[in-house]
Every structure is written in structure tokens, then in C-alpha cells.
């Protein structure tokens, strides 16, 4: 992603940010409320009015394409608020995740795979997604994204509103998904300490500009980051 500008109507949110994600790595995008983290993810998937900038995924330029096409190119986005189809069952949600795929046998395998990651979803597979707990819904959202066999997974605040234990569980699974399947992950988080623990690289976003970027362990030791986001005095 290079030199990305994004705006909602007349309000400019992103002022030319550039991010580079290494294939197969986890990158965290940190920042305070309103810094433009969610907008960055939305702009990547053509969900905002983008004014300028280029987005490349594995040598393919995706900016200017429709959200549907970008999903078909292997970018799975778990949006802010999870985007679950609340009136459909768990299983139907997962089936929709695999909507673009025609390889039935592999899809059946992937059902087993996500049920292995999250056994709770198997128990709840006939249940309406709206009746699941917040943690289960987040598991479902991640699983739905995995069902598309993505190359890049965009996660918007997966820890939001969840109990620490559940967050830990989901983060563990994300590490496994990244390690075992080589899925690249771009993670937007307010919980900076957990995100930096998980990520290989991180960027710090402030009012629509990247102010810092580097290896996650370096950022963890950085004084500004420690003071502003990790609560160290």
C-alpha cells in the first residue's frame, strides 16, 4: 500500500500513509481512537471513497476495484463490528465465507479445520449467529474469513468488548493460522501490548499519518509508544 489518501465526503481521514506488509507476517496497526485505523482497512477494500493512492497485493493492483473483486483476490476482511449475518446459522455464515470457492471437497475440509480451531462453533453450528456470545461471534467472524482461504487477513479490533481469556484464545489461534498456513495478517488493535506481542511488525498511526514503523519488539521498547500506548510511566 502506497501513499493512501482516504476521505468520507469532505472529511479527509488519511493523509497519505504508506504501509508495507511482508508476505506471511503479522503486522499490527496501532493508534488512538479516530486515528484512521478502521478507515485504512476500509480503504484497502474499496469501502470508502478513496481519493488517491495505490494498493498492491502480491503484484496485483487492487485499488479502484470493487469490494467483491478484492474479496475474490484473496483479501478477507473481518470488519469493525464483525459483520456477522445475525439471522443466519453459524454453518450458513461459514458457507457464505466460502462463497467464491467452487472446490467442494476442500471447502468441506475447511469446515473441519475451523471447527478444530474453534470447537465451540461446531456445537453451535445450527444456532442462529445472533444468539452466540460476543466471543463466539468473533470466532465465527475469523472463521468465516478463513473459509475463503485468504492470502491476506484484515482484522479490525478482534479484541473489542471481549473478556481477556477469550481474547487470548483468539490471538493464539491467529498465531497458529499465520504460522501453519502462512496467511499474512494486518491487525488493527487498541490493545497495543497484546498486538505487539503477536505481531512481527507494527505501524503507529496518528490523525491519518504514520508516525512510526518498525519491528514489533523495537516498538515495544520505544519510549513514545511505551508512554502513550502501553501505559508505562
Binding residues for another protein, rule: CB under 8 A, are 45, 47, 66-68, 71-72, 76-77, 79, 83-88, 92, 95-97, 99-100, 144, 148
Using CA atoms, how far apart are residues 208 and 12, in angstroms rounded to an integer?
8
Element at 120 (helix H, strand E):
helix 119-123
Do 62 and 56 form a contact (C-beta atoms < 8 A)? Answer: yes
User: Least separation, in Å, of the C-beta of 200 and another protein?
Assistant: 25
**Cβ nearer to another protein, comparing 22 with 49:** 49
User: Least separation, in Å, of the C-beta of 77 and another protein?
Assistant: 5
**Cβ nearer to another protein, comparing 87 with 231:** 87
**Cβ nearer to another protein, comparing 84 with 184:** 84
Supply angle C-alpha 161, 141, 201, rounded to 5.
75
**Cβ nearer to another protein, comparing 57 with 204:** 57
Quote the cell numbers at residue 150. Answer: 485468504
User: Least separation, in Å, of the C-beta of 93 and another protein?
Assistant: 9
- Please name the residues in contact with 174: beta carbons below 8 A apart, sequence gap of 6 or more: 26, 142, 155, 158, 185, 187, 198
User: Least separation, in Å, of the C-beta of 79 and another protein?
Assistant: 7
CA distances from 85 to 77, 89, 127, 149, 162 (A): 14, 8, 12, 19, 19
User: Least separation, in Å, of the C-beta of 64 and another protein?
Assistant: 15
User: Least separation, in Å, of the C-beta of 50 and another protein?
Assistant: 15
- Please name the residues in contact with 21: beta carbons below 8 A apart, sequence gap of 6 or more: 1, 27, 152, 184, 186, 201
**Cβ nearer to another protein, comparing 53 with 150:** 150
Using CA atoms, how far apart are residues 197 and 189, in angstroms rounded to an integer?
12
Do 8 and 48 form a contact (C-beta atoms < 8 A)? Answer: yes
**Cβ nearer to another protein, comparing 67 with 193:** 67
Amino acid at each position: 500500500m502506497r501513499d493512501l489518501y482516504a476521505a468520507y465526503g469532505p472529511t479527509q481521514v488519511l493523509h497519505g500513509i504508506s504501509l508495507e506488509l511482508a508476505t506471511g507476517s503479522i503486522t499490527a496497526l496501532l493508534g488512538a481512537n479516530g486515528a484512521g485505523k478502521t478507515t485504512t482497512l476500509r480503504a484497502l477494500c474499496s469501502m470508502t471513497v478513496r481519493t488517491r493512492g495505490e494498493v498492491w497485493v502480491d503484484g496485483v493492483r487492487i485499488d479502484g476495484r470493487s469490494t467483491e473483486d478484492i474479496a475474490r483476490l484473496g483479501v478477507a476482511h473481518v470488519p469493525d463490528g464483525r459483520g456477522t449475518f445475525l439471522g443466519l446459522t453459524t454453518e450458513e455464515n461459514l458457507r457464505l465465507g466460502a462463497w467464491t470457492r467452487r472446490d467442494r471437497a476442500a471447502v468441506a475440509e475447511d469446515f473441519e479445520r475451523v471447527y478444530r480451531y474453534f470447537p465451540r462453533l461446531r456445537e453451535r453450528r445450527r444456532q442462529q449467529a445472533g444468539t452466540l456470545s460476543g466471543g463466539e461471534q468473533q470466532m465465527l467472524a475469523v472463521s468465516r474469513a478463513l473459509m475463503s482461504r485468504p492470502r491476506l487477513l484484515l482484522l479490525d479490533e478482534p479484541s473489542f468488548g471481549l473478556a481477556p481469556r477469550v481474547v487470548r484464545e483468539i490471538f493464539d489461534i491467529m498465531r497458529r493460522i499465520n504460522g501453519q498456513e502462512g496467511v499474512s495478517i494486518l491487525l488493527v488493535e487498541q490493545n497495543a501490548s497484546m498486538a505487539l506481542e503477536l505481531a512481527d511488525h507494527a505501524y503507529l498511526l496518528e490523525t491519518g499519518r504514520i508516525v512510526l514503523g518498525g519491528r514489533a519488539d523495537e516498538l515495544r521498547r520505544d519510549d513514545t509508544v511505551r508512554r502513550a500506548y502501553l501505559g508505562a510511566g
